[in-house]
Amino acid sequence: MLLFSIYFFYKVSGNSIWIALTSAIINYIISLLVIRIKPWGLAFLIIGLFFNLALLIAYKFIQTIPSSIILPIGVSFYTFENISYLVDTYTGKIKAKTSIGNYLAFIFFFPKLIMGPILRAGDFFIQFQKSTHPTAGQIGMGTYLITTGLLKKVFIADYLNAAIVQPIFDSPIQHAGVEYLVALYGYAFVIYCDFSGYSSIAIGIAKWMGLDLTANFNAPYLAKNPSDFWRRWHISLSQWFRDYLYIPLGGNQGSKLRIWTKLLITMVLCGLWHGFKANFIIWGIFHAVLLAVWGKHTFKGKFAILVQRFLLFQLICLGWVFFRNENLSNALFFLEQCFKNWNIPVLNQFCKQYYKVLIILLLAIMTHLLPSSLKTNFGSFFGKLPVVSQAAILFLIIWLIEHYQFAPSLTPIYLQF
């Protein structure tokens, strides 16, 4: 598995794999020093953190300038795994692995290597040391996750991006307000279906190998408040920032001003994790304000919860405007256009021209609204099918993608991070 993972990484990163391998070996050595030379453990931990953060900052900086340097993809993800491993080793949550093969297997585990989910070493090693023969339930759930992940990625994310999101967001000409608004909602499901689709595939492949990875998404647009959203969106990343940044800063302890300051620091750094660009900083500040002002507050009652979910979704989409547009002026122009040129003739023309987009967007919304229990039942149903039937269903989906792909493939959005 390790040899294949390294080969897989080489195929997507070329010779820059040596950067990732060197980084992993250095972190492995530092982790041993942290444990074996205890009087200097904190010093070695600081050296390790500095090394990893310097590598990450250099990677993000090089992304912002024209350069011929080819860096390995997925740096943001496995750098965070290296950091969490060093911290957990120092605090005694896990024991430093004496086998470098085990450590490299954790870092280069190929299903999650490119875009996560971000693993915790303790969770991985516990499973890896046990029998990894997959059960029938794991195989069935894996097939279900891979199948639904492909459908979300190709038939929803790729199509919506090509049909309306990219033409509207990247077009210099003005469009009708309804086009801007639907493009905004479309992007909300493009970034969700694109990333969660990949995560589902990664988790599904791991299940085929007998390993259970933590879910990375849980219907985030059904969140009742901003805190709930971050418990549902990119779960492995939000938990990483919570456990290794927000809580060490003091968490929810202290005055409101101190808590808000810690939220601001955490979310701005979360924005910078995506890239050294102003739009990501604005996006991080925007979510920090939401967490500070709204936070965990939830009104009781079914109608009140529906209103809260609807309002929060609008605010999240507002944040996506700043996330998608690389500068503030473009974001403000986009928001301004959402409220212009609304009239009956334009709406009629839009419905005729974009009826397929509306159908796919409606399908995305409906699948998002499905209860989690129903999705689990689908996975259980797959587990009860003969393996031949599961393979036939997956083959059919791949065949349909190959022959009836409605739009050019979108390069995974989080691949750039």
Residue numbers annotated as active site: 274
Residue 183: closest CA among 195, 166, 171, 196: 166
Residue 101: closest CA among 213, 5, 35, 15: 5
**Cα separation, 101 vs 5, whole angstroms:** 12
**Cα separation, 285 vs 279, whole angstroms:** 10
Amino acid 198 reads Y
**Cα separation, 294 vs 343, whole angstroms:** 35
Output Rg (C-alpha) for the chain, integer angstroms: 22
Residues with Cβ < 8 Å from 306, sequence gap 6 or more?
none
Inter-residue contact 264 to 347 (CB < 8 Å): no
**Cα separation, 248 vs 302, whole angstroms:** 36
Could you give the maximum distance between any two Cα atoms of the chain, in Å? 75
**Cα separation, 412 vs 201, whole angstroms:** 13
Q: Give the Cβ contact number of residue 3 at 10 Å.
A: 8
**Cα separation, 399 vs 22, whole angstroms:** 40
User: C-alpha distances in angstroms, 169 versus 4, 110, 320, 331, 377?
Assistant: 39, 33, 12, 9, 38
**Cα separation, 177 vs 250, whole angstroms:** 44
DSSP single-letter state for residue 410: P
Q: Give the Cβ contact number of residue 253 at 10 Å.
A: 10
Residues with Cβ < 8 Å from 254, sequence gap 6 or more?
262
